[in-house]
Amino acid sequence: MKKYSLETAVGVFVLIGIICIAYMTIKLGKVTFIEDNYYPIYADFTTVSGLRIGNPVEIDGIEVGRVEKMSIDQQRQIAVVELKINRGIKVYDDASAAIKTAGLIGDKFIKIDPGGGGDLLKPGDRISETTSPLDIEDLIGKYAFGDVANKGNK
């Protein structure tokens, strides 16, 4: 009899542990089963160097969404980024988006200036004015091999 009560206690303890691990995985991984809290908008960039899926989207320094997906538009030869924006956040059709770096060599994020002079963007609409990240390696290469100085003298 004592053997069965010990096995039951261990079984309950393991079950509670599995439930705690599942809960922490969902919370820390920011997994959602219902996507009602977000709406998608798109932004076109010439390059998305260093940007990753899951990177934050910020307005005025406050995180308001995440990078959901990145793809290439083969016909226009540009990178298309799908952003998940919190439903309560208003972004207008005169908004602009820029890929920025957090700190000197930190992670990339997308900074949105939400605009305010036009109509609201609906789910699936596009931010037309974007700024791609500055490629430090390219600038250093141009400076090291004299391309920057040569362009200034012409």
- Would you list the domain boundaries of the chain? 1-31, 38-134
Kindly report which listed range (77-81, 128-132, 142-146) carries the lowest average pLDDT score.
Answer: 142-146
> Residue 147: its pLDDT value, please?
63
> Residue 103: its pLDDT value, please?
77
128 or 62, which is more confident:
62
Hey, what's the torsion of the CAs at 119, 53, 111, 133, to 10 degrees?
-120
Report the predicted TM-score, pTM, of the whole model to 2 decimal places.
0.68
3-state SS assignment for residue 52:
coil
Tokens 């298309």 found at: 80
